[in-house]
Amino acid sequence: MSRILVVEDERGLADAVGYALRAEGHEVELVEDGERALEAVSATSFDALVLDVMLPGISGIEVCRRVRAESAVPIVIVTARDAVADRVVGLEAGADDYLTKPFAITELLARIRAVLRRRELDAGEAQPVRDVGGLHLDLERYEARADGKPIQLTPSELKLLVFLAREPGRVFSRREIMQHLWESDHTGNARAADLHISNIRRKIERDPENPERLLTVRGAGYRLVPV
């Protein structure tokens, strides 16, 4: 059984999400604003967060940033905005996935199952530590360094890099990347792969505008090379 925090100020939606998660065997805590969310995370250990972006007081994006600074807990953000820029902001803040309102409860449950599965698989990774050139990745400690300097990656970003690091130089398609992150043939929006790559480059590249480590292969996908 997993313990999940749902942060949503629309009471009807919060109750529906809570009911569905409890029906799947999870323990659920519901809060309505950012301040209570931060208090709950400080007081209790959660296995995942469902976090609305538009909240009274402290925004969901700010909550995500503060939680991510202290914890690797998986975070799924929910937003009424569908613009790519808003998704980028959420992923940059440390979210592992995003969902746009209105959504089907079954889709949210699938996203939650995916992030929980990823966490379990990360813990059991056969080779939790990998080095590709000056890039050091440690799934066991949820740590990463580029050229000896610590970098702050979300769990999904770290998992994606470890996946690419299995075969440095090999080109992985967007579909392969999303299938790995979701642990499913259902890949959701493949554009999310581009957003993750863009966010990762800002953290691991000396010059994100001219990447040397994480390269685009036009029409094919991405590859990680030792530098």
Average pLDDT over residues 82-104: 78
- pLDDT on residue 39: 95
Q: Are 180 and 201 in contact (CB under 8 A)?
A: no
Q: Which sign does the torsion angle of CA 168, 174, 176, 182 carry?
A: positive
Percent of the chain with pLDDT over 90: 48
Tell me the three state secondary structure of residue 105: helix
What does the pLDDT average to over 111-119?
A: 81
Give pLDDT, residue 175.
84
Sketch out the chain's domains with CATH numbers.
3-122 (3.40.50.2300), 126-224 (1.10.10.10)
Computed on alpha carbons and rounded to an integer, the radius of gyration of the chain in Å comes to 17
Give pLDDT, residue 186: 47
- Residue 83 has a pLDDT of 61
Give 154's pLDDT tier (boundaries 50, 70, 90).
confident
In sequence order, what are the beta bridge partners of 217?
A: 221
Distance CA 19, CA 224 (A): 42
14-56 pLDDT, tens per residue?
999 999 999 999 999 999 999 999 999 999 999 999 999 989 9
Q: What is the pLDDT of residue 85?
A: 65
Rounded to whole angstroms, how far apart are CA atoms 122 and 62?
26
Rounded to the nearest 10 degrees, what angle do helices 174-182 and 191-204 cross at? Answer: 90
The answer to whether 96 and 74 are in contact (CB under 8 A) is yes
Reduce the DSSP state of residue 31 to 3 states and report it. Answer: strand
Q: What gap in Å lies between CA 12 and CA 32, rounded to an integer?
A: 11
**Cα–Cα distance, 53 to 51 (Å, whole number):** 6
Query: Is the full-model pTM beyond 0.75?
Result: no
Average pLDDT of the chain is 86
Residue 215 has pLDDT above 80, yes or no: yes
